[in-house]
Amino acid sequence: MKHPAPPRKLHRGHIAFMRAVVQGLDPRRSWERYLQGEGEHASSHRIRQTIRWIRDEFASAARRHARHGLARLVQIDASTVEDSRHVPPLADFVHEHNLEDFSEEEQLSLYRERHPFVARSHGRRARLVARQLEALAWFEQRSVSSPLPDDPLASWLAPNLVARLEAADLHTLRALVERINRREGRWWKGIDGIGAGKAERIVAWLLDHEATTGLVLGARVWARQPGSSANQHGQADAEEQAIVPFDRLTVPNRLDGSRGSLRAPAHLCEIGASTDRDAILAWLHALRRSPGVQAPDETACRQTGEVSGARVAAEAPITLPRSHTCRAYLREAERFLLWALHERGKPLSSMTSEDCEAYKQFLADPQPAERWCGHRATPRHSPGWKPFEGPLSVSAQRHATTVLKALFNFLLEKRYIVANPWKEMAASTSRAIHPSQRSFTESQWDLLQRESRDLLPTPANARLCMALRLLQETGLRLSEASAATADDLDPASGGTAVAANGWTLRVRGTNGRIRRIPLSDALMAQIAEYLDARGLHADVRHESNAGAFLLGGAGQGGRIRRKKGAADSEAVPTQENVRHAKSGVSASVLARQLKAFFAACGACIAEHDEQAARKFASASAHWLRHTNATQSIAGGMPIPVLQRRLGHAAPSTTARYSRPAPEQPSPQDR
């Protein structure tokens, strides 16, 4: 007797999908981002069917809890409700301002900042969306669960997939993963109705939920992914393989670099790398000597193994670097390696100067775009991941060339190769840009301060104001500012109160050296006020602030609850607020928020000063560092002192700020 299939369960991807739909984001793109791993294509019918199912489940849960108003609320389609005031949909706003990588909370905060009446709940649609988002949060807490290893497939995967997998005697997530790991690359063979595409999406879903199921997919499974056909010798041709990230890459022996034309004799090599992939890992691992550039853990540098004649990653997956700089280095090496394999059919260690010149041209226009370019928010493990978003700017091309020169210099020094094909490559024919051309004038800085004071009092905006002041006054790199904590603040004169003179900030630079940057009393007062606004203690050295990042997350807010009659010095944070209040923000998120703010400031003056508006639109967070250095030199600060404050390795880097800037049209400096 056949037992009825268990009811399908909702996971957090379904809730994230519905949040996106409720807020007006494109349903198809939202499906691809949150639900593609379920194994079904994003057909319009399937999307509508899923939305209807989620709403029905929501309504049932609401009725079970006697929340009949919520049951009716969730069935309303907000897109059909006419608003009394015109505002762009959130999806258009996110795309226009390049906010795809921001969290939903960050996106909403910036959206409401630009359209404040939305934040004040003006408009029928805005009020409905806000209520539906609150309802989804209620629903998530009560009805969403996480997959467990022995759960039936029918609880989590699409019904048509489940029927095909059960026909192959696969009934639980554990059984499915065991088959995948046992059969590796072509595990779906013999299962009717499951081809390479569906198999790839199933594996992506399992990877998404690996943390809760505890079912680990071997690295070989993803490396030998569906869609990469094997030749008669069991080796996958690079031309036939899908383009996958470095940490999921498998390379046939003839392309792995073990016999590269530039390879030095193996007994001379100082890094113990036998393939190009190993050599890149060794380069990243060597960057460990620079604490500001954190390399992968030891597990990332394990030796590779042989499977069916092809070299693949060891069973333990690569631990990707966490620091912004090291990720940037890996990105450039990854792109060049993939290009060498797929476009030139050569290993990295066989590249010639002609190949390098061709790659420089490729960076300016990566073609075919459908093969190389994708959406920036696509996760690395997703089948739709691509190494590029589109053509690189001149500065990004210059950066790529510089990083690849450094990689090949390392390989040459360690005797992995005998020559550096990038040695004679000019980084760019463009004229070097003077730092003052990428800094704000005094009047422009005043504009930034005025606009920041007019922002709505949200946690994200409070962080923005704090970051502006901190970066401009100290000249910190963005990665250094995002890593700074209250523990790094020292009262040089021995005082403990904010009013004490002589506060410094301890910073570990990218060269590994510790430097101390003096902070003004005004900046210290703003830091204390900002900590207090996050629900932390206003005394920066209070023991309860240990480990608190100076720049917090956007979801923070509230005040410390104090015991009745207690003095400020006896403040007792509530347990539920402390962890969130102390958390920080990534350098990439902060960079995008600042860039969006600069562009918005430019839009404010575009009508009467179009040239200055364009300058604001092109500005980035690093301009605040340039602004600090330019103002310091103008104020008479000696170059050696400024060099120590900025953490430059060479005085020549700092000396650039003292050279006369090229002639510029006066309107740009208004």
pLDDT per position as a tens digit, 30-44: 777 777 655 555 677
Show the 3-state SS of 38-103: HCCCCCHHHHHHHHHHHHHHHHHHHHHCCCHHHHHHCCCCHHHCCCCCCCCCHHHHHHHCCCCCCC
198 and 344 share one domain = no
pLDDT per position as a tens digit, 525-566: 999 999 999 889 889 888 888 889 999 886 544 443 333 344
335 and 450 share one domain = no
* Domain-embedded: residue 34: yes
34 and 168 share one domain = no
Of 125, 143, 161, the residue at which a domain comes to its end is 143
385 and 500 share one domain = no
266 and 339 share one domain = yes
Question: Helix 12-22 and helix 124-143: axis angle, to 10°?
Answer: 180
Nearest-CA neighbor of 195 among 171, 229, 157? Answer: 229
Nearest-CA neighbor of 467 among 558, 594, 373? Answer: 594
Q: Indicate if the pLDDT at residue 495 is higher than 60.
A: no
402 and 472 share one domain = no
Please provide residue 620's backbone torsions phi and psi, each rounded to the nearest 5 degrees: -130, 175
Nearest-CA neighbor of 625 among 455, 538, 507, 540? Answer: 507
Alpha-carbon distance 94 to 100, whole Å?
6
In the predicted model, what is the mean pLDDT of the chain? 75
Q: Do residues 531 and 486 lie in contact, with contact meaning Cβ atoms separated by under 8 Å?
A: yes
Alpha-carbon distance 163 to 303, whole Å?
40
563 and 659 share one domain = yes
* Domain-embedded: residue 370: yes
* Domain-embedded: residue 429: no
| Whole-number pLDDT of residue 294 | 38
Q: Indicate if the pLDDT at residue 624 is higher than 70.
A: yes
Mean pLDDT of 605-620: 85
Q: What total of structural domains would you count in the chain? A: 4
Q: Indicate if the pLDDT at residue 419 is higher than 60.
A: yes
166 and 115 share one domain = no
565 and 608 share one domain = yes
* Domain-embedded: residue 426: no
pLDDT bracket for residue 306 (50, 70, 90): very low
Residue 265, Cβ density class (10 Å: 0-12 exposed, 13-18 middle, ≥19 buried): exposed
Q: Do residues 581 and 532 lie in contact, with contact meaning Cβ atoms separated by under 8 Å?
A: no
Alpha-carbon distance 63 to 69, whole Å?
9
* Domain-embedded: residue 59: yes
Nearest-CA neighbor of 88 among 23, 27, 32, 29? Answer: 23
Q: Which 8-state DSSP code applies to residue 367?
A: S
Q: If you average pLDDT over each of 162-171, 176-185, 511-520, 578-587, which comes out highest?
A: 162-171
Of 366, 381, 413, the residue at which a domain comes to its end is 413
Sheet holding 310-312, edge to edge: 251-252, 310-312, 305-307
pLDDT per position as a tens digit, 342-365: 888 889 999 998 889 889 989 988
Q: How far is CA 287 from CA 291, 292, 322, in A?
A: 8, 9, 12
| Whole-number pLDDT of residue 156 | 78
Of 99, 121, 143, the residue at which a domain comes to its end is 143
Poorest-confidence range of 329-338, 351-360, 501-510?
Answer: 501-510
* Domain-embedded: residue 509: yes
Q: Indicate if the pLDDT at residue 666 is higher than 70.
A: no
* Domain-embedded: residue 450: yes
439 and 504 share one domain = yes
Q: Do residues 473 and 523 lie in contact, with contact meaning Cβ atoms separated by under 8 Å?
A: yes
pLDDT bracket for residue 608 (50, 70, 90): confident
Instruction: Indicate which CATH number applies to the domain containing 528.
Output: 1.10.443.10
Poorest-confidence range of 299-308, 517-526, 540-549?
Answer: 299-308
| Whole-number pLDDT of residue 660 | 62
Q: Indicate if the pLDDT at residue 288 is higher than 80.
A: no
Return the SS3 of 171: coil
pLDDT bracket for residue 15 (50, 70, 90): confident
Alpha-carbon distance 348 to 249, whole Å?
14
Contacts of 323 (CB under 8 A, 6+ apart): 292, 293, 294, 479
Domain limits for position 268: 251-413
405 and 458 share one domain = no
* Domain-embedded: residue 2: no
Nearest-CA neighbor of 13 among 28, 33, 29, 27? Answer: 33
**Better-scored residue on pLDDT, 347 or 187:** 347
583 and 446 share one domain = yes
| Whole-number pLDDT of residue 103 | 59
